Amino acid sequence: MTCRAYAKINIGLLILGRRPDGYHDLQTVFHRINLFDQITLEPSESTITVESNEPAAPGDETNLCFRAADALRRFLGHEAGVRISLAKSIPVGAGLGGGSSDAACVLRHLPRLWGRPLDDAALSELALGLGSDVAYFLQSGSAIARGRGEVLKYFTLELPYAILVCTPAIHVSTAWAYGRIDVKSRPRQVDLESLVVAGMKDPSHLAELENDFEDVVFEAYPDIRLIRDTMRTAGAAISLLSGSGSSVFGLFERMGTAREVAALLARRGHRVSLTEPGFRPA
Ligand code: C5P
């Protein structure tokens, strides 16, 4: 059984307050891009194994795919194992949700391989135990997320822009970035979904979008700000950090411009990926 685990970007990300459980309440729009890992699941007698082509995503029990399979097995009281092969294309720890998407892929498909289907509520519960972004990847479509990221409302977002994603060789710790946010100064009443939907018809609305991680991340890593500025100067309708970075994306009205900027950023040694306007995952 083989599946594609797509990457996401955050089209706007607002951090609204710290919660008693130590997490933060947020509001963000998750949107999938044309960049995916390929995951193969094969039955195995009793052990869970993970092989990965990416040294930064090792095949040990810290891998989120391993943890997803292990959590499923415990929940189901199941004896069998699985051999998981990961062909990674999504940069690791880069704000694109690669590990979360991989884990959701395992949660969605492994119960069927084991002949033990699970209902959506149980899957969402297991997803949240693995990470705040995992639940989004259990279903297709774009979504506005609230709470820790698990309160989701899915909607169809036809993005008429080319999406350029640029990932520098910098790792930003999400826990570090949350820890540096001054939440007290950030009470806001914004409806990101309407803002994003309005921005699909009129790019001028996109300028109102923000990612609250940008100040702390750009201060510590000026090279990431430079990527954002390069995209804006080159004509992006909007360019923002994705998640807590280090990836930055830009929405471009013309694919040709996006391609030129991609080539420029690649020449600076960054990883780039392009998603055509109107893209929908297979
Ligand atoms: O849930 P996840 O493992 O992705 O979170 C990584 C870290 O980011 C958490 O340990 C927490 O410090 C922080 N976080 C947060 N609020 C969220 C999501 C994550 O404070 N909504």
pLDDT digits (tens, 9 = 90+) for 108-138: 999 999 999 999 999 999 999 999 999 999 9
Give per-residue pLDDT as tens, 201-245.
999 999 999 999 999 999 999 999 999 999 999 999 999 999 999
Spell out the domain ranges in the chain.
2-154, 158-275
Q: Do domains 2-154 and 158-275 have the same CATH topology?
A: no
The amino acid present at 268, given as its one-letter code, is R
pLDDT above 80: residue 28: yes
> Among residues 8, 37, 88, 212, which one is catalytic?
8
Residue the block writes with tokens 């040694």? 269
Q: Is the CB of 228 under 6 A from ligand 1?
A: no
Q: Assign residue 268 a region: left if phi > 0, alpha if psi is -120 to 50, beta otherwise?
A: alpha
DSSP string, 237-253: SEEEE-TTSS-EEEEES
Look at residue 185 in the predicted model and tell me its pLDDT: 60
What is the rounded CA–CA span in Å between residue 210 and residue 206? 9
Where are any strands of DSSP class E within the chain? 2-18, 24-44, 48-52, 81-87, 142-146, 151-155, 162-167, 238-241, 248-252, 271-275
Give per-residue pLDDT as tens, 148-191.
999 999 999 989 999 999 999 999 999 999 999 988 666 677 88
CA 152 to chain centre: 14
Q: What's the predicted TM-score (pTM) here?
A: 0.96
Q: Is the CB of 174 under 6 A from ligand 1?
A: yes
Residue the block writes with tokens 């970007």? 9
Topology at the third CATH level for domain 158-275:
Alpha-Beta Plaits (3.30.70)
Active site residue 184: no
Cβ-contact 183, 15 below 8 angstroms: yes
Active site residue 21: no
What is the rounded CA–CA span in Å between residue 25 and residue 145? 10
Q: Is the CB of 213 under 6 A from ligand 1?
A: no
What atom in ligand 1 is closest to the CA of residue 24? 16
Q: Provide the CATH number for the domain formed by 2-154 in this structure.
A: 3.30.230.10
What is the rounded CA–CA span in Å between residue 53 and residue 105? 17
Look at residue 279 in the predicted model and tell me its pLDDT: 96
